[in-house]
Amino acid sequence: MFRYFLYRLAAVIPVLFGVSIAVFVMVRLVPGDPVQLMFTNQPLPSPARLEEIRHQLGLDLPIWKQYLNYLTGVLQGDFGQSIRSRQPVFEEIVQRLPNTLRLTFASLAVAITVGILAGVLSAVYKGRWIDKVSMVVSILGISIPGFWFGLMIMLLFGVRLEWLPVSGATSWKHLVMPAITLGLISSAIIARLTRASMLDALGQDYVRTARAKGLRGSTVVTRHALRNAFIPVVTIIGLQIGGLLSGAFIIETVFAYPGVGQLAVTALQARDFPVIQGIVLMVAAIYVCVNLLADLVYGFLDPRIQYS
């Protein structure tokens, strides 16, 4: 286990390096002078002043030195300064990160509960109406645009019925609609995989043995089949977290939910590159770490995996 852990950890470090290079290069690829971009929507200072700022920011150094400076900055929590608000980017992100994490985990809870329940039921009742309905609904779930679904439930539960608040993030009630909207797609994906994986498990010899021993149907399903069917599901859940984190960009905008995603969209519209760069780097880093965690859980759940 420990060797497997070290091996996976070692594989993650070059990826994180690559991510930092990609994010660094990304901003260099933006057409136009980065210093002039800092003065978007403002009068441009004199060329001498521009030169001075360029020097202060180290933009006159060779590119590899610029990257090293950037990397040391990032490792110390210095993500630069927002062009729009003049605040340190790191602080802006950290202020909003708890809201986004709360939303991500709430929608993950929705996705896992609905997805696994629907998947198990359709596998157990394969070919019956419950299977057919839940599989068609799950295809619909991955086809409906989340931002539209969000607007529709907002119209129904927020505007017409007035059961839930339509925007903001001051109480748990604010979390309900965004979490359901965001969890929808993932629950459909998890349901489909759980069904396939359960069908596989239900056909195995050990399940037949368990049934032959006279165990109750529910015990066979939950104790024997589900535990084994769960292994691939864990991996897809890890991958879903990335989808949820980036899906939050759009859904937070729909519900005016003050998270990192909303900040990202505002920054994109204002071409506030330090903020975009910081958010992209942070979300990618979180995503890589979550997948590492999912891999480790996978190894833990399935003792057959050889750690070589």
List residues binding another protein (CB under 8 A).
14-16, 18-19, 21-23, 26-27, 29-31, 136, 139-140, 142-149, 151-152, 154-155, 159, 242-243, 245-247, 249-250, 253-254, 264-265, 268-269, 271, 273, 276, 280, 283-284, 287-288
Polymer length in residues for the chain: 308
| Cα distance between residue 181 and residue 199, in whole Å | 28
Rank residues 57 and 292 by Cβ distance to another protein and give the closer one.
292
Q: What residue type is 39 in one-letter code?
A: F
- Cβ of residue 187: shortest distance to another protein, in angstroms? 15
- Cβ of residue 11: shortest distance to another protein, in angstroms? 8
- Cβ of residue 63: shortest distance to another protein, in angstroms? 17
| Cα distance between residue 37 and residue 278, in whole Å | 17
CA angle 289, 298, 249 (to 5 degrees): 40
Rank residues 132 and 208 by Cβ distance to another protein and give the closer one.
132
- Long-range contact pairs involving 215-224 (C-beta distance under 8 Å, separation at least 24): 221/120, 221/124
Give φ, ψ of 261 to 5 degrees: -65, -45
Rank residues 1 and 21 by Cβ distance to another protein and give the closer one.
21
| Cα distance between residue 181 and residue 83, in whole Å | 32
- Cβ of residue 271: shortest distance to another protein, in angstroms? 8
| Cα distance between residue 214 and residue 228, in whole Å | 20
Rank residues 1 and 22 by Cβ distance to another protein and give the closer one.
22
Rank residues 46 and 143 by Cβ distance to another protein and give the closer one.
143
- Cβ of residue 193: shortest distance to another protein, in angstroms? 13
- Cβ of residue 265: shortest distance to another protein, in angstroms? 5
Look at residues 252, 265, 250, 260 and name the one whose alpha carbon lies nearest to residue 285: 260
